Every structure is written in structure tokens, then in C-alpha cells.
């Protein structure tokens, strides 16, 4: 990966969606800190992609995607100094000093003085409005979730490395979690360690992503630097969600495909090409459809038909199903359990990590396929390029995709911050 450009540290990195935007913008990573093993492996694989690309050795990466090269063989091609930037550790008061030591070593080896940017945000489940609604059913209620306190770890990094700017990302629910006190404390601590801050609730849809995805984005800058919250121009595409799916092979439940049906790039939808989601050399991975029961398939067909029938855009209510298709006694929690992806609109509803549990909330819009979406389809909706390889079993891949910041949104943020830092 390049040794030039602005530097950054990615905290609670997940599968690297936010980091991907910053790399695309020309930044160089100092460290990615992520506790989940599969997500950390995904970032390692992405590091391998960029290193091999810069050294004109991408064929080795494609061999890995085709299972012609083992993971060990792939990583042997990558310098240790690149791989050590991935720190697969849980962040806590007992581990943070060790993480600091690793980062300090990396900084010294790369001859990096001041850190330019710190990015990231703690796991959003602790602040999720959806998750909080389930709190009464959980062993550890949301208010007692230790993840609520992880923002303090983020502030400790700010205090130690004093980046010129930072980007803190989380779900909108962080503003009201624990009666709003956690968010107030977060801002107080950020200011206490030397930063001016501003926050806005932003939607990925306004950044060209074909998905409604609202997130709180805090941007901070060292006091006295004169930096400010970036001004983002609204970007809306004329594309439809269908455009993201059309060149992918049609699947029925239980099927998979590793080759594009539409091989001629001239026929691939413009949005997919112009956004960099698919390039001529890409291989297809992660396009594996779940198996579904006969009952679920019948429900999916009804859901799809209702939405697209004369363009009515009606959602199926669980109680409206025939009795033989109902399996849940709790009719209040499952009223909108089934939802089709809005293929005929310029954005769809929010991709969630819940995709790992079942696909009922993310049904493919094609009634002939009558299935939930694949990891690759979810990744495309999140604006990940097709050459982004997600490690781990399918459930872990869905979690990684569902929790990610859309790279397309991240790149715009990175570009705007770069404009200020390079003045």
C-alpha cells in the first residue's frame, strides 16, 4: 500500500467500509483495530488486494478468489509491515495500552509523526433503536451493554495521538441512547481533549448510494486549526436498485454462481461501471443464495407481487397471510417481517446485519428467483466493489456487510477532509 499521502487510524474497523473510502481517496492506513476475527481477515485480504494491485501482481489475488491459492500462500506475498496494520484485538482498559504500543511501533517504522485522521465508531448495536426495542428480551439489557462505554476508548485514542481531524460514525440512535447522556458525555470528552466538533445526521442516499442509510457523523478538529465540518453537496443518481442486480446471475434458493451472466461490460448498467462497483477484470464471489422452505417461498412471491402490482408499492402485513403460512403467534412484532428490496426505486431500505439471521427483510425483487439477496447483492447495495472479498462463513459475511459504512459515502467524506488538510 502506498507510503505517501495523509495517514489515518481506523478504530472499530469492521470489514473496512469506512477505510475503503479513505484508501480510495489516497490516504495511507497506520492501523485498523477490529475485534472480530472474520472482519479482521477481510481487511487483511483487502490489504493484499491493494498491495498486489500496486505491484502488478493481481493475478495472485484472483487465484485466491478462485481457490487456486491458499490463504497462507496469499499472505506470504504481502510484506509483514502491511499486514501488521491489522490489529485483531478487543478494545478495553486492559488491552488499550498494548494496542497503543503496536501503533507506536508502526508509526516509527513508517516514519509517521502526527496522525492526520482517526476514523471509526464503536459497534452500533448498543445504540440501535431497533436493538433497544428488543432490550426486554435480552440477557443483558441495552442500557447495561458494555459496548455503551466504548466511545471512551475512541476518546483515549484522540487524546494520545492528537489527529488533526477525526470522523466518528454511528447510528442515529446514539443521540438518544441512555436518555441521551452517552452522546452528551461523548461530546464533552471530545472537547475536553482538545477538539472542536460538529455533528449532523447524514443519509448515504445523499452521497450517491442506492440505499436509505442514516448515520450520525461527528467531525472534529484540533482547536485553533481553523478547520470545519465539511459541506457535502447532495448526490442523487438516476439509477434504480435494479441496475445493481441486473448483471448478476439469476439464482433460485440454494443455488450459487461464480461467473457473471453478463460478460460484455458494454451491457453492464452505467451506474455499476461508473461507481467502480464492477470492473472488467473482476471475479464474482459471494453470490450464493440461501435455501428457503416452501412456505417462505410462497410468502416471498406474495410480497414481491404486492409491491410491484401496478406500481402500488404496498407492503404485506403478516396478519394478511393465509393461516397456513403463519408460523408466529406474536403478530405485533412480526407485522412487517417480510419486505422486498425496492428494485424499481432509486434507493432501497437500510441493509442490516440482521441479514445473517434470515433474509425475510431483504427479498430479491425478481419473483422468478423468489429468494433473499446474496452477500454480493447486499455488498453492491452498500457500494462495495465486486473485488472486495469477505472472509468467513456466509453468516459472518452478512454481518460484515450489514454493519459497514458504504465506501462510496466514505470516499466523499475522505475527499472533503483532504481538501482542508492539504491546504
DSSP 224-242: TS---PPP---B--S--HH
CATH number at residue 353: 3.90.120
The pLDDT tens digits for 10-65 are 999 999 999 999 999 999 999 999 999 999 999 999 999 999 999 999 999 999 99
Residues 29 and 150 in one domain: yes
pLDDT(145) > 60: no
Residue 140 domain boundaries: 7-235+405-421
pLDDT(242) > 60: yes
Cell of 363: 427479498
Q: 316 or 37: whose pLDDT is higher? A: 37
Cell of 358: 434470515
- CB distance 196 to 226 below 8 Å: no
Residues 135 and 75 in one domain: yes
Is 124 a residue of the active site?
yes
What is the band of 312 on the pLDDT scale with cuts at 50, 70, 90?
confident
Average pLDDT over residues 349-355: 94
**Position 132 in a domain:** yes
**Position 322 in a domain:** yes
pLDDT(340) > 50: yes
Residues 230 and 140 in one domain: yes
Cell of 320: 394478511
Conformational region of residue 286, where left means phi above 0, alpha means psi within -120 to 50, and beta covers everything else: left
The pLDDT tens digits for 90-143 are 999 999 999 999 999 999 999 999 999 999 998 855 554 444 344 444 443 444
Residues 215 and 258 in one domain: no
What pLDDT is recorded for position 71? 98
Average pLDDT over residues 330-359: 86
What is the band of 334 on the pLDDT scale with cuts at 50, 70, 90?
low
Q: What is the pTM of this model?
A: 0.93
Mean pLDDT (the chain) is 91
What pLDDT is recorded for position 389? 98
**DSSP conformation letters of 65-113:** HTTSS-HHHHHHTS-HHHHTTEE----STTTHHHHHHHHHHHHHHTT--
Residues 223 and 246 in one domain: no
**Position 46 in a domain:** yes
How many domains does the chain contain in total?
2
> Residue 126 in 3-state DSSP?
helix
Residues 251 and 328 in one domain: yes
What is the band of 148 on the pLDDT scale with cuts at 50, 70, 90?
low
Q: How far apart are CA 230 and CA 36, in angstroms?
A: 31
Question: Which residues is 31 bridged to in the sheet?
Answer: 9
For residue 351, which phi and psi values (nearest 5 degrees)? -70, 130
**Position 50 in a domain:** yes
The catalytically annotated residue of 99, 103, 124, 210 is: 124
What is the band of 332 on the pLDDT scale with cuts at 50, 70, 90?
low
Average pLDDT over residues 257-268: 91
Dihedral sign of CA atoms 153, 159, 160, 163 in order: positive
Average pLDDT over residues 191-195: 97
What pLDDT is recorded for position 310? 76
Q: 7 or 320: whose pLDDT is higher? A: 7
Average pLDDT over residues 191-196: 97
- DSSP-assigned letter for residue 140: S
- CB distance 239 to 270 below 8 Å: yes
Average pLDDT over residues 65-69: 97
Place of cell 478462485: 66
**Position 304 in a domain:** yes
CATH number at residue 88: 3.40.50.150
Residues 303 and 203 in one domain: no
Amino acid at each position: 500500500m502506498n507510503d505517501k499521502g495523509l495517514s489515518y487510524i481506523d478504530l472499530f474497523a469492521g470489514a473496512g467500509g469506512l477505510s475503503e473510502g479513505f484508501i480510495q481517496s489516497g490516504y495511507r492506513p497506520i492501523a485498523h483495530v477490529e475485534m472480530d476475527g472474520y472482519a479482521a481477515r477481510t481487511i487483511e485480504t483487502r490489504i493484499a488486494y491493494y498491495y498486489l494491485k500496486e505491484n502488478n501482481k493481481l493475478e495472485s489475488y484472483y487465484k485466491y478468489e478462485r481457490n487456486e491459492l491458499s490463504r497462507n500462500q496469499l499472505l506470504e506475498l504481502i510484506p509483514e509491515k502491511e499486514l501488521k496494520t491489522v490489529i485483531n484485538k478487543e478494545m478495553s482498559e486492559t488491552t488499550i495500552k498494548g494496542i497503543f504500543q503496536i501503533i507506536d511501533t508502526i508509526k516509527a517504522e513508517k516514519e509517521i509523526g502526527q496522525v492526520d485522521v482517526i476514523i471509526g465508531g464503536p459497534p452500533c448495536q448498543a445504540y440501535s433503536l431497533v436493538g433497544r426495542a428488543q432490550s426486554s428480551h435480552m440477557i443483558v439489557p441495552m442500557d447495561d451493554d458494555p459496548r455503551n462505554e466504548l466511545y471512551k476508548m475512541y476518546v483515549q485514542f484522540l487524546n494520545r495521538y492528537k489527529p488533526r481531524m477525526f470522523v466518528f460514525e454511528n447510528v442515529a440512535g446514539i443521540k438518544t441512547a441512555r436518555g441521551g447522556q452517552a452522546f452528551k458525555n461523548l461530546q464533552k470528552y471530545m472537547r475536553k481533549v482538545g477538539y472542536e466538533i460538529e455533528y449532523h445526521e447524514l443519509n448515504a442516499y445523499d452521497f450517491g448510494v442506492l440505499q436509505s442509510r442514516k448515520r450520525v457523523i461527528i467531525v472534529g478538529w484540533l482547536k485553533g486549526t481553523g478547520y470545519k465540518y465539511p459541506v457535502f453537496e447532495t448526490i442523487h443518481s438516476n439509477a434504480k436498485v435494479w441496475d445493481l442486480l441486473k448483471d448478476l446471475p439469476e439464482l433460485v434458493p440454494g443455488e450459487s454462481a461464480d461467473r457473471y451472466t453478463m460478460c460484455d461490460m458494454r451491457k453492464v448498467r452505467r451506474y455499476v461501471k461508473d461507481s467502480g462497483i464492477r470492473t472488467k477484470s473482476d471475479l464474482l464471489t459471494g453470490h450464493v443464495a440461501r435455501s428457503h422452505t416452501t412456505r417462505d417461498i410462497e410468502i416471498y412471491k406474495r410480497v414481491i407481487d404486492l409491491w410491484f402490482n401496478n406500481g402500488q408499492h404496498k407492503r404485506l402485513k403478516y396478519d394478511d397471510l393465509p393461516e397456513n403460512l403463519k408460523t408466529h403467534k406474536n403478530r405485533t412484532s412480526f407485522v412487517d417481517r417480510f419486505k422486498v428490496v425496492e428494485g424499481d426505486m432509486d434507493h432501497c431500505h437500510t441493509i442490516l446485519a440482521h441479514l445473517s439471521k434470515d433474509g425475510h427483510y431483504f427479498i430479491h425483487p425478481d419473483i422468478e428467483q423468489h429468494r433473499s439477496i446474496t452477500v454480493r447483492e447486499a455488498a453492491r447495495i452498500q457500494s462495495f466493489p465486486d473485488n472486495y472479498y469477505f472472509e468467513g462463513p456466509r453468516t459472518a459475511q452478512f454481518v460484515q456487510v450489514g454493519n459497514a459504512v458504504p465506501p462510496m459515502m466514505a470516499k466523499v467524506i475522505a475527499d472533503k477532509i483532504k481538501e482542508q488538510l492539504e491546504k
